Amino acid sequence: MPLIASVSGIRGVFGDGLDPAVLTRYAAAFGAWVRQRRAGRGGSGGAESDPAGRPRVVVGRDGRITGDVCARIVTATLQAAGCDVVDVGLATTPSVAMGVLKHEADGAIILSASHNPAEWNALKLLDRTSEFLGPDEGAEVLALADEGVAAHTVGAYEIGTYETDDVLDYHVQKILDLPYVDPEAIAGRGFKVVVDGINSVGAFALPALLDALGVTDVEVLNADVTGRFAHNPEPLPAHIGQILDRVRESGADLGVIVDPDADRLAFVQDSGVFFGEELTQVVAADFLLAKQGGAVATNLSSSRAIEDVAARHGATVHRSPVGEIHVVRAMQANDAVIGGEGNGGVILPDLHYGRDALAGVALVLQHLAETGQSLSDVRAGLPDYAIAKHKVQLTDDMDADALLAALAERYAGGRVSTVDGVKVDLDEGWAHVRKSNTEPILRVYTEAGSPEAADALAERFKAEVLGEA
């Protein structure tokens, strides 16, 4: 299995593309990168007031079985590259991002392959603002990796220190400090919530948040942090039958589903029906725009529902290429008050510029508490679109760029965007075909007025991209 180096990190199957040598090479390169960045900033207060001093790097991991091994390799390598390390251990990706802010660190490495299966792992790289590295910064790290580990190893008296911390309490407190989150109002609704922890960090992080928000009736499925995922970790309807059944049988008000590092969030309605990860950012935006107004940013593969809801509040939606950092850049360029992705990502700049399932849970519970609605009521008031998410497996003899170019040519003259793959807007819906940042596949996402129409549109575009239509 090839190693995938992209805007989403350095990712591969452990023992088959991702091995200790790879981890060492890229961790050393990142250590060198943060050293160079620190030295170039000069003293201006905070963690950067001593540019000649060692940079500080936060390291955290999700619950997958290779996480501990990978983290020990990475933390030791960063020390050898002259970085002081704050090891936050098992932690959600957004908690690690908050750890960067807490420790005024120069960056972070998160050991998580997000929604990929358990045999995968990855190095996800954050800068000193707690944001993912952009394409230019990522290219700098890749160039340093080509220089080899020895080029970035410091002398015996320059190696970095090592300490541990638990950043979850800090993360939760910052959510409670948001002016529009009221734990008393949430507690007053007496919610019963079922959580699918997928045997990873969400299994303890979400109950901690819910407890702090005053939700005392919480049932956690797949609560053992073993990294042996109870089902496919991507929060899609085909994978989550267990929690759908449990919400319905228990009479719970809602179910909460996260991926292994808890940056993606999906809900189950009180009736045991999947609310849909596509609608997570939509309902969060509906809540926040009613509070303070402003712009929204999301990616090209997200539902048109975000435009419909934004229009209720007179807000503008800005579209970006797929990838969290691209959405973040669009948010910053347009002063957006909230952003996200249709994969269940909610980005709340009042907290940090990163997808945050814990923040998303707090916003949605607050929305339900203030309106007195159930999640089924909320769904009934949202636009009724259906999204299909298909894929085309890439083989060694397939030229993905050529396939996409041919598809763009086929629809030349129509409403086509080639900013990120090929997106075609049609009267009956849209189709977006692009190379994945995380897997050797083409993603084929479509949206239409019904699930059947969306699937049919996806099948049509898969056939067209493969030259079968």
Catalytic residues: 114
Residue with tokens 């809602």: 254
What is the number of residues in the chain?
469
Query: How far is 103 from 247, CA to CA, in rounded Å?
Result: 39
Closest CA to 97 of 355, 459, 368, 409: 355
DSSP bridge pairs for 257: 196, 266
- Give the containing element (helix H, strand E) for 339: strand 336-341
Cβ neighbours for 281, distance < 8 A, ≥ 6 positions apart: 298, 302, 306, 338, 339, 340, 341, 342, 344, 345, 346, 360
Ramachandran angles phi, psi of 300, nearest 5°: -65, -20
Q: How many beta carbons lie within 10 A of that of residue 154, not counting itself?
A: 17
Note the Cα 172 to chain centre separation in Å.
18
Both tokens of 27, joined, read: 């961790």
Closest CA to 229 of 218, 240, 244: 240
Quick check: helix, strand or coil at residue 192? strand
- Give the containing element (helix H, strand E) for 211: helix 202-212
Both tokens of 151, joined, read: 């080029």
Query: How far is 100 from 450, CA to CA, in rounded Å?
Result: 43
Q: How many beta carbons lie within 10 A of that of residue 284, not counting itself?
A: 28
Q: What is the DSSP string of 157-179?
A: GGPPPEEE---HHHHHHHHHTST
Helix axes 202-212, 168-176, angle to 10 degrees: 40
CA dihedral 217, 220, 221, 227 (to 10 degrees): 170
What is the β-pairing status of strands 386-393 and 217-221? Answer: unpaired
Closest CA to 75 of 107, 123, 27, 138: 27
Residue with tokens 């239509």: 469
Query: How far is 469 from 467, CA to CA, in rounded Å?
Result: 6
Both tokens of 332, joined, read: 């910053």
Query: How far is 439 from 1, CA to CA, in rounded Å?
Result: 10
